Structure 1
Amino acid sequence: MNILYSAPEINLSGGHGGSSHVSDVLASLEHLGHEIKLIDARKENTTQASKLYSYLVAPFLRTIKHCIFNDVDIVYERNRIFGGGAILAGNLFGKPSILELNEPAELSFEGLRGTVAKWIFNRVSKKATVITGTHNSFFNSLPKEKCLLITYGTNAEKFIPREPDAELIKKFGLVRGKTILYCGSFAPWHMLENTIVAAKDIIARDSEVKFLLLGVGGQFERIKTLIKTLKLENNILLPGKIPHTDMFSYINSADICLALFDRNYGPFKKYDYFYSPIKVHEYKSCAKPIIASSIGNLKTLVADGVNGLLVNEQNPKEIAEALHKLLNNKKLSADISKANREDVLQNYDWNIINSRILAAISRKAGNADGF
């Protein structure tokens, strides 16, 4: 089938979670035998007017062009504030469509721009054939018969368990069995300050343990200063922004991976933790034990004692004790590693998830042969 995928805010070379997500989704759809046409970002948008044009008007016009000059069987659109142009245009040509929600749409409904965003979203959601989301809070006020609760996943053929990368081991002086990894943005809701406090406890017990904190963001300098103040520079390393193509090497060079999120962060406090974080699926696909916050979707993705250990991220001592347990209980870590790889192969490979989404739209569109 010919799928037009619209992600007008995404630059595939951007190296952040959104670009990784879209790249893996497209690769999976192609693996399943579908032809893909992509509408992606052409420039960075800094004003509300430019976002309105880039996320609504431009995809609308580009979709009309695709529908006239190319074969389009399905329009698949990643939701964004002011987005939906591809679905609205596809509807003019009778094309079934998938609206992908990555967070509750009402998060963008505040103020004047929110009024405009809500008006657009209400019309787009009425035209969409299937609406996907990773948490039931996404579907408030939406027709339940259109809604499909899903998880996200990973490319299990790319993120496979391997031996630690020799160059990374040498570069950072890592010791097998004693490396802890975080990857993501340095944002307040990732609880990196509490991670540093917990790390101090662990390093005091074993000076060979090292933490690799990958990424950049608003709190980078603050975290760097805290590490220096606590005199932990030799054990807590900040490699910076890592290309997603190199991420599997870093994950495979680690022994424990972190997925901590602040339960008191406004949107999580209101809706619960609603994401299905790509990093968790990549960790699991590489057979790594995970320490995660005991909130929302994470409680399903990281079953306590099965896929890792759940903690209250507000308590650094609890984080430290979970780290200590996994570092020193090799059988538990090995059992979790095996379970995580099997879990991804059975439930969280993008091929499985996309097949389910396409089956849903096939049923809704009345296509007996499927997509």
Structure 2
Amino acid sequence: MPAGSFSRDVRPLRGFSLGLVYLTLSFPLGSWVGRIPQIKEALDATDASWGLASTIATCGEIVGLAIIVVLIGRTSTRKMTIVTASVVLAMGPLVALSPTLPALVASLTLWMIASKILGTTSGALILVHQRELGRIIFGRFDALYSIGMLIGGALSWAAIRQDIPASHQFAITNSMLAIALLISLRALPEEEAPTTESEPLCRRLRSRFTGPLLLLGGLSLLASFIDSAAAQWAGIYLSRTAGGDPALGSLGYVLVMATKSACLLFIGTIVARVGWRAITLASVVVTTFALLLGVGSGLLVPGVIALLVLGAGTAFFGPLVNTLASAQPGTTNGEARTMLEMGELPAYVLTPVLVGLLASILNVRWAFLLMTGLPLLACGVLFLTPGTRRLLISHDDELMTN
């Protein structure tokens, strides 16, 4: 369905349909994460072999990014979303039924490839919908992603308690998602074909490397450093504070995600009232002080508060960067999203190494503080600089000028 045909009967379903697509990304993944220990044990995999298998499967994201960079703008974004959502839903039961570790790696790698493509295309369609509505809604879908992960993990825990096989769980839940998607499929939007569609591939790829999109890719990189550090090291940091322990440390990233998800639900409303500049300034200043005082103290309660503030204070990054990217002239939402995805990827590869290196020189507390505080400050300085704002924000863009 063309993006322009925004009829009344489809409009209420559009957000619902896009929400189901985002749940397709997160809910099965959360279910898989909850089943990892059980499946690892069932396959009798050693820690070393499982680590290697996970690394190989994760490389599927790189393959998926390479595919979407080439296909976006040449193939319908809507069709790619539908196809990859189908692959993601089909892979869940196949992963659970894998009789050997190599079979699991093959199916999981295909899952990761499809997920990477789906994440890019579905994000592009959400930006199409956001532009149609004329208000910021991207944050709600980011929150939905986190909620889907949490519910999927909780459901796996409950299924294990009831001795329900993983393959049965995935088959039932993924089938329900597939049926819901089929019912709401007609409401999925489509983005307009780019004007460069007929140009050679190399020229089309070069056309995306504009100053604003490169800058947004850099902002996305910095934000991903924060997310990656929080995901991988918040728990370790919390477990090593005075009064902390491994059990409490397991809640480290949950604390960050809890406040982040809550704020994402209301980020559009807040931005409409106070504007991007005010929310960026307040978030950067408050979060930086919270990290310095909380993480820097080495104490448990201030550390917990700092993690809660970190989640709330970084909630604006995703909606801000994606909204700015969608407003750039000469590129489609899908093409802009590929630039953001390329910006994010190095952070997830480099952060574990950088934090580990800093932790060996200093300690985990200061390493965590540096890897979250410095990128946060850099993002704030970049966006709040007048020259950067002039480069990124069009004065006739109602979503960004408030």
TM-score (structure 1 length as normaliser)? 0.24
Higher helix share: 2
TM-score (structure 2 length as normaliser)? 0.22
Higher relative contact order (CA 8 A, sep 6+): 2
